[in-house]
Structure 1
Amino acid sequence: MTSFLTLEDKRALITSGTRGAGAATVRLFRELGAHVLTTARSKPEDMPPDMFVPADLTTEGGCEVVADAVRKRLGEVDIIVHMLGGSSAPAGGFAALSDGEWRKELDLNLYSAVRLDRLLVPEMVERRTGVVIHVTSIQRLLPLPEATTAYAAAKAALSTYSKSLSKEVSPKGVRVVRVSPGWIETEASLHLAERLAREAGTDIEGGKKIIMGSLGGIPIGRPSKPEEVANLIAYLASDRAATITGAEYVIDGGTVPTV
């Protein structure tokens, strides 16, 4: 029986593939037959060295290192999945965000993708084939003003950039798609739930409810699992999604309350 979904012999770059949804995406792509290269600032002990390149993608030089590694190890790239993202901005609302904090959020959540695309997508266009997936966030629609204003704004910029890129390169054979997760139950988010639970004098399930409450609630009653986000990304990267481009797919358990 033919498998419904395969990435057999596809060459894929997945950024930030060492933990959370990024690691789940790397695992699934490999299970589906893809040749995967991933990157982060440091290599986990269990990561095969031939599929990893250490780099800081918040810098131009780091993006160039990764692009060079793609050409040397993969030859050409068929799929780029921009998983990198996050926030280290302090709490305190807009007034707590210095120019330096804004630059860090933009370098991490926007410019890393912009720079890598500029280095690698022209080669896809030349071959008239390829898929680019930008992982955005529902916070572009639901920013949390206490702590994520800059992160949300950077993800909104990434989404707009992605849409524009899709209009430019889709007629040339390259699909560009966005995946917009809500809360994902990663190791880091569970640590946050544990901390909130301790502060509130409750258990970890109570900590999770505090996080869900801050988001306005999640109708299905739980966050997404990293593997569920990976499933969506793998489908969109596959030939099964051959006519999908320029769209954004929300995976948030129903968190966004509007159409």
Structure 2
Amino acid sequence: MNHSLKEMVALVTGGTKGIGKAIADRLSNAGIQVIITARTAPAEVTEGQYFIQSDLAQPESAEIIAAEILEKYGRIDIIVNNAGANLSPGGGFSTLSDEHWNNDWQTNFMSVVRINKALLPVMIDQKSGVIVNISTGAAKLPVWEMTMSYSSAKAALNAYSKALANEVATHGVRVNVVSPGLVETPLMLEFIQNMAQSSSVTQEEAYQSVMEKLNVPLGRMAEPDEVAGIVAYLVSPEAKYITGVNYSVDGGALPTI
């Protein structure tokens, strides 16, 4: 991260907590003007950040966000599509309704497609821009009893990201993916709590069950800032020859290199 990033404008969706907040704060500290979105307004917005309240699962949200950013700042240099969640119950295919599938795909895939579609024309006109789509290790290593519909939506995001990277590279726009594994965020802790309640076990037992299923060699969950670090690198000039790549930040959980 260096002085060349200052005065750039970045959008970080889902930027009020967890991984998104860590990314937004890292970019703000580099001098970038950061716009964050979330369904719920934070108690306090960090200095140097601008908040837009929005539910990205709603199709009209992307155009509204894009219009506000362009009216206020007139440009967009970085998009970090971080907003996403594993919204469906565990238990496998028989527990998942059409509504569960639709919610996961709207939140984790179509929301990204719409944001990029709304803002990419500006990047193409500028002949510069960087997009980082936040996926998950579960897209390559799905856990059927916990992440079936979520994993499928994120797997689609991976394929879409590679195709988009190839399409817009000649316009000076780079697209990459970061795939975290287990990260200690409020959403993850809530997921473990719900898993404990539904399985009638303690939270510690549920935590250990998740760790054992994913077999993390480093033996712990990541901190959000450990994901933010690779995102900060990818949007910087140091990564100007990197596009169409998916980076795993999973403590070694993916069993292939």
The answer to whether the aligner puts 1:106 opposite 2:105 as a matched pair is yes
Contact 2:35–2:51 (8 Å) recurs in 1: yes
Match of residue 241 from structure 1: 239
Shift of 1:207: 4.7
Match of residue 94 from structure 2: 95
Alignment root-mean-square deviation, CA: 2.0
Correspondence list, 1:111-150, <5 A: 111-150=110-149
For residues 17-60 of structure 1, the C-alpha deviation after alignment (integer angstroms, 9 at most, x for no partner) is 01100011111111111000010112111125970011111112
Amino acid at match of 2:245: A
Shift of 1:193: 4.5
Match of residue 65 from structure 2: 66
Shift of 1:73: 2.1
TM-score under structure 1 length normalisation: 0.92
- Aligned pair partner of 1:231 in 229, 232, 235: 229
Match of residue 57 from structure 1: 56
- Aligned identity (percent) is 37
Moved over 4 A (4+): 3-6, 191-199
* Equivalent position SS for 1:60: coil
Amino acid at match of 1:254: G
CA distance in 2, matches of 1:98, 1:197: 22
Correspondence list, 1:161-176, <5 A: 161-176=160-175
Amino acid at match of 1:224: A
Contact 2:2–2:30 (8 Å) recurs in 1: no
For residues 208-250 of structure 1, the C-alpha deviation after alignment (integer angstroms, 9 at most, x for no partner) is 33221121x1111111110010111011011110100001111
* Equivalent position SS for 2:83: coil
Worse overlay, 63-72 or 155-164:
63-72
Gaps of 5+ in 1: none
Give the paired residue count: 254
Worse overlay, 4-13 or 148-157:
4-13
Shift of 1:187: 2.5
TM-score under structure 2 length normalisation: 0.92
* Equivalent position SS for 2:35: strand
Correspondence list, 1:185-196, <5 A: 185-193=184-192
Contact 2:8–2:33 (8 Å) recurs in 1: yes
Shift of 1:74: 2.1
Taking structure 1 as reference, are residues 118 and 188 closer, same or farther at Cα in structure 2, changes over 3 Å only?
closer
CA distance in 2, matches of 1:119, 1:197: 40
CA distance in 1, matches of 2:193, 2:139: 26
- Aligned pair partner of 1:42 in 40, 43, 50: 40
Shift of 1:190: 3.1
* Equivalent position SS for 2:220: coil
Gaps of 5+ in 2: none
